[in-house]
């Protein structure tokens, strides 16, 4: 018998057709690459606008002006603030301040305030605070006034003159503060701060004698008033 053979052109066409079909099937079987949307990157400024815990350490130079004679002048103050950013517009902080008066008479000034804070624009904030403040001055370098030589009970002096010989007391403070915060990273920011405040202090001095009827120590009391202006610098963490 004689074997029949297809012509060469027909054979080549069949091989090419099979190759194309195979390639097409392999292409259809391969999965298409998955398209993933890249996550948006949050800037440091945006992260600081989010609600969350905040803490700050800073230094302020206080300039005090006393009304009618109490000690005043410069006070070097360390500041600790703890609070939270509530939303994009508001924060709430508690601030502790401890200051040292290096000029004579030597003494300490302290305060603790609660401060609602509004965020205005571009890192500028404005805080209004109220709280407790006081002085610790063991010696004012003047003699303690005694209204009567035979005083037998505690007495409140009607004015700030003559000055008490010492002051250990506290009172009320109200303040207005502006901060400008420069963002350094997601976790750190810093900036200058300016503050104005007024303080009323009930000073107490013990005379070293006791009330003959009650046995309680005899005290002299006097009220001091100060106005303050402060500049400083603070670091913030979140």
pTM of the prediction? 0.77
For residue 222, what are the domain limits? Answer: 45-237
For 218, other C-beta atoms within 10 Å of its C-beta total 19
In a domain, 4, yes or no: no
Give the whole-angstrom CA distance, residue 62 versus residue 45: 30
Q: Are strands 107-121 and 90-101 parallel, antiparallel or unpaired?
A: antiparallel
Task: Specify if 7 maps to a domain.
Answer: no
37 belongs to a structural domain? no
pLDDT per residue as tens, the chain (238 positions): 445 454 555 556 555 565 556 555 454 555 666 666 555 588 888 889 899 999 999 999 999 999 988 889 999 999 999 999 999 899 999 999 999 998 888 899 999 999 999 999 888 999 999 999 999 998 887 777 665 556 667 777 877 778 888 889 999 999 999 999 999 999 999 999 999 999 999 998 877 777 777 777 878 888 999 999 999 999 999 9
Residue 125 lies in a domain: yes
Listed in sequence order, the DSSP H helices in the chain are 8-29, 44-49
Do 179 and 234 meet the contact criterion of CB atoms below 8 Å apart? yes
In a domain, 96, yes or no: yes
Report yes or no on 33 lying in a domain. Answer: no
CATH number at residue 65: 2.40.160.20
Q: Answer yes or no: are the C-beta atoms of 115 and 133 closer than 8 Å.
A: no
- Does some domain include residue 155? yes
The total number of structural domains that make up the chain: 1
114, 175, 177, 187, 210 from 132: Cα distances, Å: 9, 11, 16, 31, 29
123, part of any domain: yes
């Amino acid at each position: 018998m004689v074997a029949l053979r297809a012509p060469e052109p027909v054979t080549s066409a069949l091989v090419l057709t099979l190759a194309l079909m195979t390639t097409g099937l392999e292409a259809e079987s391969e999965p298409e690459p998955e398209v993933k949307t890249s996550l948006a990157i949050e800037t440091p400024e945006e992260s600081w606008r989010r609600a969350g815990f905040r803490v700050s350490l800073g230094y302020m130079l206080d300039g005090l002006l006393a009304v009618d004679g109490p000690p005043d002048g410069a006070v070097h103050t360390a500041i600790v603030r703890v609070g939270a950013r509530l939303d994009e517009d508001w924060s709430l902080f508690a601030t502790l301040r401890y200051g040292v008066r290096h000029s004579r008479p030597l003494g300490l000034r302290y305060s603790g305030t609660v401060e609602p804070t509004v965020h205005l624009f571009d890192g500028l904030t404005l805080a209004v605070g109220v709280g407790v403040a006081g002085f610790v001055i063991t010696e004012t370098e003047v003699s303690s006034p005694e209204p009567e030589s035979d005083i037998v009970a505690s007495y409140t002096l009607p004015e700030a003159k003559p000055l008490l010989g010492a002051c250990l007391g506290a009172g009320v403070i109200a303040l207005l503060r502006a901060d400008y915060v420069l963002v350094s990273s997601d976790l750190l920011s810093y900036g200058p701060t300016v503050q104005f405040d007024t303080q009323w202090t009930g000073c107490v001095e013990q005379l070293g004698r006791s009330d003959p009827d009650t046995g309680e120590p005899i005290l002299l009391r006097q009220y001091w008033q100060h106005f303050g202006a402060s500049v400083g610098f603070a670091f913030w963490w979140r």
